[in-house]
């Protein structure tokens, strides 16, 4: 038995604070070409994936993040057929995207080892999604793919690590501008933007960048226990402002037609997630 301290708020971002797990068993410790991978077993949270010492997913609470990053843009759009995932190596977003029957998904992940380790040691995250004929998996840098690709997508989901290490480039204005170029008219971009109470600059920087590029940009929130610090902010950007104002009636109709069973997402929660706590509004103003 070993205690594992998360490294997110120590070192350069020192807040004098950490999250600690008791690892009952180490499943995998591996250094890839890009980052340190670790999977370990805990009693309360099941298996935990850390990259460079930062929690990416736990079996207990991953559904909250993956459902909200996926179903909010897909049900708001309503007719998405081509979805792009940048990052997402654990397969949780791909799993949720492919629950929408009409969708073809492309996933662009930098590190093949994350996919291999998660397929083997945390298969409940992808639940077979990598073998789905509607999934296309490319191993390359997301920034490079966006700059070079000529394809268009209805929804782009940036499921990145935090803006330290290889994920840093996925928070730049030039990357977001390339995302905008690759969206079909009325397409939606969503991004993971950290926990605003503890990482305020992650959200404020993205707010400025998305706000300069898109007709409509904002955030919605969800609380994921192991992304510690309260609500996580998810960035939203589109050139069609109506999509952020979708009515609960329309969302409920789409949700019911899709027949997708969720554990966190509901149409009412979708609408509520765009209501931001005052401290978050204050950061944005």
Q: Which is nearer to ligand SAM, 78 or 200 (CB)?
A: 200
Q: Which is nearer to ligand SAM, 108 or 251 (CB)?
A: 108
Q: Which is nearer to ligand SAM, 72 or 251 (CB)?
A: 72
| 87 in contact with ligand SAM (CB under 6 A) | yes
Q: Which is nearer to ligand SAM, 161 or 246 (CB)?
A: 161
Angle at the Cα of 107 from the Cα atoms of 104 and 113, rounded to 5 degrees: 145
With CB under 6 A as the contact rule, the residue among 6, 159, 178, 202 that binds ligand SAM is 159
With CB under 6 A as the contact rule, the residue among 40, 58, 71, 89 that binds ligand SAM is 89
| 154 in contact with ligand SAM (CB under 6 A) | no
**Burial class of residue 173 (count of CB atoms within 10 Å of its CB; 0-12, 13-18, 19+):** middle
| 67 in contact with ligand SAM (CB under 6 A) | no
With CB under 6 A as the contact rule, the residue among 73, 142, 218, 267 that binds ligand SAM is 142
Is 159 one of the annotated active-site residues of the chain? Answer: yes
With CB under 6 A as the contact rule, the residue among 80, 105, 114, 129 that binds ligand SAM is 114
Rounded CA separation 83/138 (Å): 14
Stretch that binds ligand SAM, among 86-94, 120-128, 252-260, 266-274 (CB under 6 A): 86-94
Q: Which of 154, 159, 162, 178 is catalytic?
A: 159
Angle at the Cα of 244 from the Cα atoms of 240 and 245, rounded to 5 degrees: 105
With CB under 6 A as the contact rule, the residue among 61, 90, 154, 202 that binds ligand SAM is 90
Residues 223-262 touching ligand SAM, rule: CB under 6 A, are none
| 116 in contact with ligand SAM (CB under 6 A) | no
In the bound complex, what is the minimum distance in angstroms from residue 248's beta carbon to ligand SAM?
27
In the bound complex, what is the minimum distance in angstroms from residue 169's beta carbon to ligand SAM?
5
Going 25 to 58 to 227 to 7, the CA torsion angle's sign is positive
Return residues touching ligand SAM (CB under 6 A): 56-57, 65, 86-90, 108-111, 114, 141-143, 159-161, 166-167, 169-170, 192
Catalytic residue numbers read: 159
């Amino acid at each position: 038995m070993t205690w594992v301290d998360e490294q997110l708020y120590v070192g350069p971002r020192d807040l004098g604070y950490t999250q600690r797990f008791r690892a009952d068993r180490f499943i995998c410790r591996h250094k890839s070409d890009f980052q340190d991978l670790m999977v370990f077993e805990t009693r309360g949270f099941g298996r935990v994936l850390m990259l460079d010492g930062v929690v990416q997913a736990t079996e207990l609470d991953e559904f909250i993040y993956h459902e909200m990053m996926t179903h909010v843009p897909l049900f708001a759009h309503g007719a998405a057929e081509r979805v792009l995932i940048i990052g997402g190596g654990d397969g949780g977003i791909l799993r949720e995207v492919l629950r929408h029957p009409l969708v073809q998904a492309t996933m662009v992940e930098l590190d093949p080892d994350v996919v291999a380790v998660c397929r083997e040691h945390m298969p409940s995250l992808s639940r077979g999604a990598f073998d789905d004929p509607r999934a296309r998996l490319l191993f390359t840098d997301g920034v490079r793919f966006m700059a070079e690709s000529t394809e268009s997508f209805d929804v782009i989901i940036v499921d990145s690590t935090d803006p330290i290490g290889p994920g840093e480039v996925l928070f730049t204005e030039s990357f977001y501008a390339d995302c905008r170029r690759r969206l079909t008219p009325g397409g939606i971009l969503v991004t993971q933007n950290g926990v605003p109470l503890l990482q305020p600059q992650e959200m404020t920087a993205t707010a400025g960048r998305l706000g300069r590029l898109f007709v409509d940009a904002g955030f919605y929130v969800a609380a994921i226990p192991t992304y510690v610090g309260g609500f996580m902010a998810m960035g939203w950007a589109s050139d069609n402002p109506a999509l952020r104002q979708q009515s609960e009636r329309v969302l409920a109709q789409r949700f019911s037609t899709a027949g997708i069973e969720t554990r966190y997402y509901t149409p009412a929660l979708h609408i509520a997630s765009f209501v931001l706590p005052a401290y978050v509004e204050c950061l944005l103003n």
